[in-house]
């Protein structure tokens, strides 16, 4: 993921930019939403792996330790652009692969009685 071009805040977009790749704004939004879910999952797994190094097996709440590295890692992920913004930027740059289902293969044919 290249986060250099991704804005950290909301940006006003032209709807025609979303319609161009698919021919339908709603299909484009669904593609972006599915990609945002993928990105969110990837980020969550990555963060969990990094924070697993700091986990300790303690049952008492009094034994909570502050770890400077753990705090810095958490702050980095908090400052990252949200997955929806990353997915939107990827979609508009043409980095998202998508395909349409065939109309004939999408639904099974039913027999009439």
| Residue extents of the structural domains in the chain | 15-56+65-94
Please give the pLDDT value at position 113: 45
17: Cα within 13 Å, side-chain hemisphere = 11
pLDDT one digit per residue (tens) for the chain, 113 residues: 556 667 677 778 888 888 888 888 999 999 999 999 999 999 999 988 888 877 666 655 555 566 788 888 888 888 888 898 889 988 888 888 887 776 555 445 545 54
Let me know how many helices (H) and strands (E) the chain has, helices first: 5, 0
Please give the pLDDT value at position 66: 66
> 13: closest CA among 96, 95, 88, 97?
88
| Phi, psi dihedrals of residue 23, rounded to the nearest 5° | 90, 0
Please give the pLDDT value at position 3: 66
CB count within 10 Å of CB 83 equals 21
């Amino acid at each position: 993921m290249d986060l250099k071009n991704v804005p950290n805040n909301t940006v006003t977009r032209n709807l025609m930019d979303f319609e161009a790749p698919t021919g339908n704004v709603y299909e484009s939004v669904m593609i972006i939403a599915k990609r945002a879910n993928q990105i969110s999952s990837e980020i969550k797994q990555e963060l969990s792996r990094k924070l697993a190094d700091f986990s300790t097996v303690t049952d008492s709440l009094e034994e909570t330790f502050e770890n400077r590295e753990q705090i810095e890692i958490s702050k980095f992920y908090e400052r990252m652009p949200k997955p929806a913004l990353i997915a939107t930027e990827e979609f508009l740059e043409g980095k998202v692969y998508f395909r349409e289902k065939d109309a004939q293969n999408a639904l099974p044919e039913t027999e009439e009685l």
